[in-house]
Structure 1
Amino acid sequence: MDYFFQQLINGVALGAIYGLIAIGYTMVYGILGMINFAHGDVFMIGAFIAMIVFMMLLTLPAAVPIALALLIMLIVSMVFTSVWAWVIERVAYRPLRGSFRLAPLITAIGMSFVLRNFVQVEQGPRNKPIPEMISGGFVIPGTDVFVLNKQLLVVVVTAVLLFIFSHIVSKTPLGRAQRAVEQDGKMAALLGINVDRVISITFIMGAALAAIAGTLYLMNYGQIHFADGFIPGIKAFTAAVLGGIGSLPGAVLGGLLIGLTEALWQTYFPPEYKDVAVFLILAIVLVFMPSGILGRPEVEKV
């Protein structure tokens, strides 16, 4: 039983990372109605930038406290990935916004390949490890379940960011503008909302979350590879659909369900089939709940 709960802890930590990436997917889809398939590679770039910053900090003559190093990594990674997201939106999406729906999808896949191959050329095809940043943990009283400090940090950061971004979307003028653009972009523009700026800010917000997820992923697993944006990106997209794309809590809930499914499947079943289990659960949920667990049914505009 202790091993079961240990895997639950591991699954929650992994699912929290998926959930952070999924929030970026669901925000862009909620505004534009299209999937940014380059988002997973933005997550990967965020992790690489965090790794480079951390290795640079290690070369300083004076030791930098881990908390300060992690904060610097997060800030620098968020800045660079936000710039990337702004460029992607301006170059790959804005010119095609009025085109047929397949065009932005193809462009998104193209941008994904561009980002992935750029990192492969610049950083090489091998795994890039870093020294352990946060060590130690604690045993849950009365059990043999060991919770790593870095796992706890991942869960706490995800919960805090979910609260902050949910507040932004539901309670702030920016959130009201985002919801207006989501409902009817043309009418929002007629009412004085700068639609282009709202969309760009949404891309930047999603990229900042992906950077945080990439930094936490690097901290938690201690290495990153240029192809690591693809599988987590696909699973995060699956999490967004599973939880109800367009719902921020749904994105995190979907991420947690996928993380738990992977962790528990590897415990009791052949681990090579864990991805099959994830997509099977997605298919079953969508059969009975086409809008996802927390999603709202789409209302066709006439």
Structure 2
Amino acid sequence: MLNEIIQTIPQVLIDGLALGTVYAVIALGYTMVYGILELINFAHGEIFMTGAFIGTALLIFMTGTGWGAALPAIVMLIIVLIVTAFLTGFLGMGIERLAYRPLRNAPRLIPLITAIGISFLLQDVVRFIAELTKGNYIVTGPSLFTEQVLIKTSSISSIFNDASIKTSFIIVLVTAVIMMIALDIFVNRTRWGMAMRAVAQDRETASLMTVNVNKVISITFFVGSALGGATGVLFAVQYGTIDPYIGFILGLKAFTAAVIGGIGNIRGAMIGGLLLGVLEMFASANLTLLTGGVFGAEYKDVFAFAILIIVLLFKPEGLLGKPVTEKV
């Protein structure tokens, strides 16, 4: 049994990194908003889903109008990523301005319920538009970067099976890593990033130091939503088929990744997402073998949330989070 598990490791790592980078970038949106407002923005998964639909619609339009022949696929993808990031960024800002800002001083449960309501609203709006334009809410985008590359891991060691990589995996991984590094630099090295960290530490004191708190919060929603929307495009390119409900389970898992890494910690969200993706793919590949056929690959979601429970039991603040002492 151990031999069979080891043989699958190369493919598990490849598939896990592809999924984990998606979780990691979505988790950044959760952790940024929580770090500043202490609000769990459960609509963030649906912003990711909206980005997937906007990006797919743009790709279908561009390939259908001859741009596909005129422009290289990578150039088309970059254009679609930028346009989608801006549109979903402004969508996130609009949601914050209309739905969250008026409730900023309300009990925490009220904005949370509002976020859930917005997520259902976005699901239904996207489903309505998709059915109106395509006749079906399940949409398949144009095939980009579908070439398969075989990696001969068996030549490195006889205990491993060969693994295959789609070129889309390389595109998704590289783009997601660039976005994560850019965000880390933005938060830790720029003036606006310093303002975000100041507001996250003490909103009232930051406002007394001439920091425009409302603008900082709006920019936080813009950046987090732009990253989520761009990740939706990467997800659509990697997996091909999307529907209005992909944001729900992916959003929950990204939130799980943020909690595992340490909610409010940007680097923790990155590590939590990658870790969760690899563990989930490991469960998908080996759960049947490990349980003697009792549990199949479909129980990988249960495995992911079981990891969350274990982490919270032994390290409630997350892997990179710091315990907070409350003065009374």
1:9 aligns with 2:14: yes
Whole-angstrom CA distance in 1 between matches of 2:310 and 2:111 = 28
Residue 297 of structure 1 aligns with an amino acid whose one-letter code is P
Report the CA distance between 1:301 and its aligned residue. 5.5
1:253 aligns with 2:268: no
Whole-angstrom CA distance in 2 between matches of 1:5 and 1:301 = 48
Indicate which of 243, 262, 266 corresponds to 1:225: 243
Report the CA distance between 1:139 and its aligned residue. 3.1
Partner-residue secondary structure (3-state), 2:165:
strand
Runs of 4+ in 1 over 6 A off after TM superposition: none
Give the fraction of aligned pairs with identical amino acids, expressed as a percent: 45
Partner-residue secondary structure (3-state), 1:262:
helix
Whole-angstrom CA distance in 2 between matches of 1:169 and 1:299 = 24
2:126 matched residue in structure 1: 119
Is the CA contact 1:262–1:275 (under 8 Å) kept in the aligned structure 2?
yes
Taking a change above 3 Å as real, the CA distance of residues 282 and 8 of structure 1, as seen in their structure-2 partners, is same
Whole-angstrom CA distance in 2 between matches of 1:182 and 1:79 = 24
Residue 235 of structure 1 aligns with an amino acid whose one-letter code is K
Report the CA distance between 1:84 and its aligned residue. 0.8
Whole-angstrom CA distance in 2 between matches of 1:96 and 1:131 = 41
Which shifted more, 247-256 or 135-144?
Answer: 135-144
Is the CA contact 1:162–1:248 (under 8 Å) kept in the aligned structure 2?
no
1:274 aligns with 2:305: no
Q: Describe how 1:1-302 pairs up with structure 2 within 5 A.
A: 1-62=6-67, 63=69, 64-124=71-131, 126-143=137-154, 144-269=162-287, 270-300=296-326
Whole-angstrom CA distance in 2 between matches of 1:108 and 1:301 = 30
Whole-angstrom CA distance in 1 between matches of 2:66 and 2:265 = 46
Whole-angstrom CA distance in 1 between matches of 2:327 and 2:61 = 52
TM-superposition CA deviations, 1:2-53 (whole Å, max 9, x none): 4331122101110110101000100000011111000000000000000110
Residue 219 of structure 1 aligns with an amino acid whose one-letter code is V
TM value normalised by structure 1: 0.96
TM value normalised by structure 2: 0.89
TM-superposition CA deviations, 1:44-78 (whole Å, max 9, x none): 00000001101110122351310111012111211
RMSD: 1.4
Residue 139 of structure 2 aligns with an amino acid whose one-letter code is K
Aligned residue pairs: how many?
Answer: 302
Give the number of the structure whose alpha-carbon radius of gyration is greater: 2
Gaps of 5+ in 1: none
TM-superposition CA deviations, 1:93-133 (whole Å, max 9, x none): 00000111111101101111111110111112532002211
Gaps of 5+ in 2: 1-5, 155-161, 288-295
Partner-residue secondary structure (3-state), 1:229:
helix
TM-superposition CA deviations, 1:229-286 (whole Å, max 9, x none): 1010010000000111111121111111221122111111211211111111101011
Is the CA contact 2:60–2:142 (under 8 Å) kept in the aligned structure 1?
no
Whole-angstrom CA distance in 1 between matches of 2:200 and 2:218 = 14
Taking a change above 3 Å as real, the CA distance of residues 49 and 194 of structure 1, as seen in their structure-2 partners, is same
Is the CA contact 2:279–2:304 (under 8 Å) kept in the aligned structure 1?
yes
Report the CA distance between 1:136 and its aligned residue. 1.8
